[in-house]
Structure 1
Amino acid sequence: MNILKYFLGTGFYSGLIPKAPGTTGSLAVLLIIFWIIYAQIYLLLFVILIGSCLISLWVAPYFEEEFGEDPGKMVIDEWAGQSLTFISISFTSDLKSGLIILIAGFILFRFFDILKPLGINKLQKYKGGFGILGDDLLAGLYALICLKTLIFTWPNLFGMV
């Protein structure tokens, strides 16, 4: 069972990169997110969000016991936050604008996840899975709000006109 928890918690081993595992985990799920949005299978994005949240809560006690508080190699929480960033985003048929939106959402999520402004750092202080997951979900929510605002205010930049 611990092998399965390790496999899922590391985001299918994407969190095992020694430098910046959270960024690597976010990039791994970004490839999946891009395909889902481009194929317009939005329900699957919701499934990944809910699934990664549930998995995160399930594997967190194992990871904290084995690797310490909020271990970097556990990136399934990044999968949840990165998924939330794109939960109501759609692409046009233009591949270039889709990539611009994807990169902007990734940068915004990593900004909020790394710097933890606006109360995100307070959520991380909770023990266990809720602390590990909560800060990433709030970072994803802030990134979603910013991304939607950017798309609305500068639609030409994102090829939405």
Structure 2
Amino acid sequence: METSSAAALLLKKQLIELQKSSTEGFSAGLVDDSDLFKWDVMIIGPYETFYEGGYFRAILQFPKEYPNRPPVMKFTSEIWHPNVEKNGVVCISILHEPGDDQYGYEDAGMRWLPIHTIETILISVISMLADPNDESPANVEAAKQFRDDYNGEFKKRVRACVRKSQEF
């Protein structure tokens, strides 16, 4: 473990802070105590959403350049959501590389900033579950269902993922 690196020191500090805080809706810790750059995350489906009752596991993989570059978050639990790629990778603004968006969709202030913490990332993901952005989908099929058949097929697919997540 590179204890001398600024990224490792910051991640260790954030781990300690998370263990002391009582933020609801998620838990997070290291996959392996010898690797501060790979975290195991559990997101609890937000109350009064189709995701309620779900326990969604994910991996947060931090680059060595953290906090100057964002981590990648990938759900390992099956999840059906407009802003989660079919392979589980979470696609939200604060996890996009810093700077201006080449497509002009996001301004730099919406993207990754070094002030973001693991806690702010996970709160943003919970918010994303509660309020999907179907204007900029990572999963086009889920976004189409979200728009066209919200209380039908979309709800059915999400609830199936919730049931599956409860079998851990």
From the two aligned structures, give the one with the greater strand fraction.
Answer: 2
From the two aligned structures, give the one with the greater helix fraction.
Answer: 1
Q: What is the TM-score with the length of structure 1 in the denominator?
A: 0.31
Q: What is the TM-score with the length of structure 2 in the denominator?
A: 0.30
Higher relative contact order (CA 8 A, sep 6+): 1
The structure with the largest alpha-carbon Rg is: 2
